[in-house]
């Protein structure tokens, strides 16, 4: 293992500057879910230049790269997501986003760069590999129904069928460390859109109107209380409204408010149950206050569950690469991640890649914050771990 590990480390060190530049280019040109045209082209060209077999999905911007070794063995798949978020960047970086209102605030530019670098490393040590490496560059992770299902439907996992699949995700823990847990690591998530209809009027005569902002305020507070009374304290669930939109100016009582939010839980059934309870609360409040409502609910990604054996393998490999003291256990998160669809087809695991620099960022800045600025030293670490996961899988 030591000789192969050293070969990978040498290639990572040689490629690191190039991959960082690719990451910065991707960061400057972020693309929203379902619009990753430029990003997918950058990915496809890079893989083609490496001599990989490259296939671009027809129904979305997914890119599939296949590296075949000359030696028989298993096929290991690695996945990275490529889309950005609708946020205005506030990092002040010289390579900040050039697209107004769009930013890589969840680290998908890092994920993509790491996987491109991993492909380059493995291509350069092809003769030492056993089996194949399958690279899955996935669009639209941030927006339902996601890009994973579309890639699966187009046969991304069919020829050859992977024996294992792995992915990483940036997380605000100190750079140089990764964290992982077997079983549920990221919860199921569902999205809801709630429209509350009132009756408009003049600000000076609220008694002649039905103010949907007031109704919506009661709904939000009541639903917050509902979560503590309808979910077993031993279980985990979260309800958050990310947007509340209503009104046109200060002296007008509007006639509609739109609330959009997410429900997350480690148990998909809890999400479904909570939606039924949520509608009961909404119905009671709106009827009691003279308003009406329309509720749209989409059950989104299932829980991301790491296979215990694959988790143990990640710990073993990462421990050998980084030192066992830098491989930590993590708590499950209630976020949502459509890598879960790949894990439903193939045994595998996701690990969290530390990207925080404690010296410049003593208080971690979390994903989806417009100030999110991952430490680029994490890119080489991600490349080393991912490349070793592939290289050593056939040697187990």
Residue 251 tokens, joined: 């002296």
Q: What is the C-alpha separation between 359 and 315, in angstroms, rounded? A: 27
8-state DSSP, 127: G
Q: What is the C-alpha separation between 37 and 7, in angstroms, rounded? A: 34
Burial letters 318-353, b for 16+ CB under 10 A, else e: bebbbeeebbbeeebbbbbbbbbbbbebbebbbbbb
Burial letters 98-107, b for 16+ CB under 10 A, else e: eeeebbbbbb
Q: What is the C-alpha separation between 236 and 3, in angstroms, rounded? A: 44
Q: Are 291 and 197 in contact (CB under 8 A)?
A: yes
Distance of CA 376 to the CA centre of its chain: 18
- Which residues contact residue 164 at a Cβ distance below 8 angstroms, ignoring those fewer than 6 apart? 74, 76, 77, 310, 313, 346, 347, 348, 393
Q: Are 216 and 246 in contact (CB under 8 A)?
A: yes
Burial letters 70-96, b for 16+ CB under 10 A, else e: eeeebbbbbbbbbbbbebebebeeeee
Q: Are 135 and 65 in contact (CB under 8 A)?
A: yes
Q: How far apart are the first and last CA of the chain?
A: 10
Q: Which amino acids are annotated catalytic?
A: 83, 141
Torsion sign across C-alpha atoms 4, 7, 11, 16: positive
Helix (H, G, I), strand (E, B) or coil at 271: helix
Across the strands, what pairs with 123? Answer: none
The CA dihedral of 261, 265, 270, 273, to the nearest 10 degrees, is 0
């Amino acid at each position: 293992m030591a000789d192969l590990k050293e070969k990978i480390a040498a290639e990572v060190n040689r490629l690191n500057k190039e991959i960082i530049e690719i990451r910065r280019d991707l960061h400057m040109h972020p693309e929203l879910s379902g619009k990753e045209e430029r990003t997918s082209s950058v990915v496809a060209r890079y893989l083609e230049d490496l001599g990989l077999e490259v296939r671009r999905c027809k129904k979305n911007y997914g890119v599939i790269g296949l590296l075949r070794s000359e030696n028989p063995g298993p096929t290991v798949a690695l996945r990275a997501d490529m889309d950005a978020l609708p946020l205005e960047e506030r990092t002040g970086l010289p390579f900040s986003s050039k697209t107004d209102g769009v930013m890589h605030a969840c680290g998908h530019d890092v994920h993509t760069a790491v996987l491109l670098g991993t492909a380059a490393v493995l291509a350069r040590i092809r003769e030492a590999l056993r089996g194949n490496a399958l690279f899955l560059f996935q669009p639209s992770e941030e927006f339902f129904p996601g890009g994973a299902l579309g890639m699966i439907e187009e046969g991304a996992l069919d020829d050859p069928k992977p024996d294992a699949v792995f992915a990483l995700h940036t997380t605000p823990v100190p750079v140089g460390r990764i964290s992982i847990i077997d079983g549920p690591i990221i919860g199921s998530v569902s999205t809801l859109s709630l429209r509350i209809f009132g009756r408009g009027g003049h600000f000076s005569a609220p008694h002649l109107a039905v103010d949907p902002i007031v109704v919506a305020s009661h709904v939000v507070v009541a639903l917050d209380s509902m979560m503590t009374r309808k979910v077993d304290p031993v279980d985990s669930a979260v309800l958050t409204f990310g947007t509340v939109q209503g009104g046109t100016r200060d002296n007008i009582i509007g006639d509609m408010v739109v609330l959009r939010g997410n429900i997350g839980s480690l148990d998909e059934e809890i999400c479904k149950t909570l939606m039924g309870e949520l509608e009961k609360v909404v119905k009671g409040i709106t009827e009691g206050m003279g308003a009406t409502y329309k509720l749209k609910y989409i059950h989104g990604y299932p829980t991301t569950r790491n296979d215990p054996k694959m988790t143990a393998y990640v710990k073993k490999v990462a421990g050998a690469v980084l030192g066992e003291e830098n491989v930590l256990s993590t708590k499950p998160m209630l976020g949502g991640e459509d890598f879960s669809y790949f894990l439903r087809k193939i045994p595998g695991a996701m690990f969290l890649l530390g990207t925080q620099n404690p010296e410049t960022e003593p208080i971690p800045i979390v994903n989806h914050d417009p100030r999110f600025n991952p430490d680029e030293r994490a890119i080489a670490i991600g490349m080393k771990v991912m490349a070793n996961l592939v290289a050593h899988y056939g040697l187990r």
